[in-house]
Amino acid sequence: MDEVLSELNPAIGYFLNKEVMVRCLAFADDLVLIASSVDGLREQVDRVRNAISLGGLRLNPAKSASLRIDIDGKAKPWVVNPSPILTIDGESVRLLSIV
């Protein structure tokens, strides 16, 4: 996993307190990618997919999920955006919702 994480773009993530950038959360073979833009997230997914393919592995879209949280000043400060944003090898990644 260290080799995979080293392939992430260090400029893509989300700033906490304007000081610390979080790019991912990882535990064993589980990985959460964090980005402040859809394009950034897609790039990170592509980088992970390419990195694990070098080891003969592949991402499984059926075991993957995405959650997109947007800021909507009109309704609420934070809202879940239900628009699909990711595909892996042409297959859509399921969307999570907050229940």
- In the chain, the largest separation of any two C-alpha atoms, in whole Å, equals 47
| pLDDT of amino acid 38 | 93
pTM of the model: 0.87
Assign residue 17 a region (left: φ > 0; alpha: ψ between -120 and 50; beta: otherwise): left
List the chain domain ranges. 2-95
Give the residue ranges of the chain where pLDDT is below 50. Answer: none
| pLDDT of amino acid 75 | 66
| pLDDT of amino acid 80 | 85
